[in-house]
Amino acid sequence: MRATINLLHTELIPDLLAILPDWYRGQADQRELPWRNCPTPYHTWLSEIMLQQTRASAVIPYYERFLASLPDIAALAACDDERLMKLWQGLGYYSRARNLKKAAILICQEYGGQLPQDFTSLLNLPGIGRYTASAIGSIAFGQPWPAVDGNVLRVLSRVLASTADIAAPATKKAMENTLAPHYPSGTTAGELNQAFMDLGATICLPHGMPHCACCPLARICLAHAEGLELELPQKSSARQRRQEKHTILLLRQGDTIALHQRPAKGLLAGLWEFPNLPGKLRKDEVIRWLAEHDLEAEKLQILPPAKHIFSHIEWQLSSWLVEVAPATGLTVRDNHLPFVWANSQEIAEHYSLPSAFQYYSPYIHKK
C-alpha cells in the first residue's frame, strides 16, 4: 500500500496562489527567456524538455540553434538522427532528444502535427511526464494544471513548514493534489507555474540562505516565521553514484582521429566517442591492445586525468594520446578497423561527441 501524506496549513494555499502571478508579472523583465516571448505549444514543449536537468542560462543558445534548424514539429519528425544528436551536443541526457523526435513523429501521425491539449494524450507521448504535461498545458493552452517540480516542492515545504520528504513520490502527489483545486485557468495558469520556477531559481534557493527579504511570500511563509529556512525542505539522500574507471585512447594519424559509435542502447546510446577501454591501463597494456588491432604507435603520451559525472555514474578517466604509424601500403583511414577516422572539421560538423569526451577536444588538433 502506498503511503499517503497529509499536509498541514493548507489554508495558506489560496493566498500563495494569489500573490505569485502578480509578482511574476512585475519582475518578468528581469528574467527574459526566449521561449517566453513566443509561447507556442512547440516552443514550450521544446524548452521544457531542454530545461530538465539544465540551467536556463545554459539552455538559451541550444534552444535558439535548435529552433533555427528545426522550426516546427514536422521538421523535428523528419530530422536525421545524426543531425539531431549534433544539435543536442553539449546538453547531455541525450535520451531527451531521441524522445522529442519519437514524440514528434507520433504527433504528425496521430494529431496532424499539433500538440494535443488533453492531459492523458500529452502523457502518452515519449519523454513527457506529469510535470512537463502540466507545464505545456498551462503555458501553451491555459489549462489549470499545477506543474510540480523541485522548485514547487521547495517553496511549498517552506511556506507550509512541511517536513515531508520531497524525494518521496507521495509528497509530490500530495502537493499536486493540494494545489489543483485552487489553480486558475487561462494565462494565469502558465504565469503561476512560471512564477514558481522563477521564485525557486532566484529567491527560494535550494542551497545556502534563501533571499527571504525580497520574497513575495515572506509574510505568509511559516519556515521564515519560525527560522526554519535552512532546515526545509527535508529530502532523503540520493543513492550513491557508481564509480567506473575508463582509459580513453586518442588515436591520431596525420590530421585524423579515430571515432567509435556507441551501441544503440544504454548510456549515451548511438553517440560517437574516442575508443576507450575499461580500467586504468598502463603503457604496456595500451601497446598490447594496439598490436591486437594491427596498429603501431610512433609516439605515446599520457594525458591529464579527468572525471565526468552522470546522474548515477561517475567516470574516472585516464587517457593516452597515440600517434599511429601508417600501415604498410595503406593509410589508417583505409584499414578495416571498428572506427571511423575524421579530421577536426568533420568532427565539428558531423559527429556528436558527448560532454564526457569534450575534455579531450584540445588534443584533436595536431600541434
Give me the residue spans of the domains in the chain.
10-226, 242-364
Per-residue pLDDT of the chain (367 residues; tens, 9 = 90+): 456 788 999 999 999 999 999 999 998 777 789 999 888 999 999 999 999 988 898 999 999 999 999 999 999 999 999 999 999 998 888 999 999 999 999 999 999 999 999 999 999 999 999 999 999 999 999 999 999 999 999 999 999 999 999 999 999 999 999 999 999 999 999 999 999 999 999 999 998 789 999 999 999 999 999 999 999 999 997 678 899 999 999 998 888 899 988 888 888 888 889 998 999 999 999 999 888 888 889 999 999 888 888 878 899 999 999 998 876 444 445 555 678 888 888 888 888 888 888 888 887 766 5
Residue with cell 595536431: 366
Half-sphere exposure of 275 (CA within 13 A, CB side): 18
Catalytic position from the list 48, 176, 191, 273: 48
- Tell me how far CA of residue 186 lies from CA of 81, 137, 262, 277, in angstroms: 37, 10, 45, 54
**pLDDT in the model for residue 65:** 96
Identity of residue 72? D
Fold of 242-364: Nucleoside Triphosphate Pyrophosphohydrolase (3.90.79)
User: What's the CATH number for 10-226?
Assistant: 1.10.340.30
The answer to whether residue 48 is catalytic is: yes
